[in-house]
């Protein structure tokens, strides 16, 4: 099943530190290209959806 395989891969990459390295590399490349604007900040929040997938779209 594709969803399960993708989930396993994402967890394995997280455990291997791939996402942290990718993030650091991206920031480094953006700084080198003078494309990083420190005046812009983006915040995120991840909240677990207890009890299922959430409401069905209309």
Per residue of the chain (58 residues), give pLDDT as tens: 457 888 899 999 999 999 999 999 999 999 999 998 878 777 888 777 676 666 666 5
For every residue of 1-58, DSSP letters joined together read -HHHHHHHHHHHHHHTTHHHHHHHHHHHHHHHTT---TT----------TTSS-PPP-
Q: Domain range spanning residue 38?
A: 1-50
Q: Is the pTM of this model over 0.85?
A: no
Q: How many residues does the chain have?
A: 58
Residue for token pair 């953006």: 30
- Please check whether residue 56 lies inside any domain of the structure: no
- Please check whether residue 35 lies inside any domain of the structure: yes
Count of the separate structural domains present in the chain: 1
What tokens were used for 50?
């207890």
- Please check whether residue 4 lies inside any domain of the structure: yes
- Please check whether residue 58 lies inside any domain of the structure: no
- Please check whether residue 57 lies inside any domain of the structure: no
């Amino acid at each position: 099943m594709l969803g399960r395989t993708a989930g396993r891969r994402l967890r394995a990459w997280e455990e291997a530190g791939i996402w942290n390295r990718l993030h650091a590399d991206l920031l480094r490349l953006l700084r080198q290209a003078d494309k990083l604007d420190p005046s812009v900040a983006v915040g995120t929040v991840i909240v677990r959806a207890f009890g299922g997938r959430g409401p069905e779209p209309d």
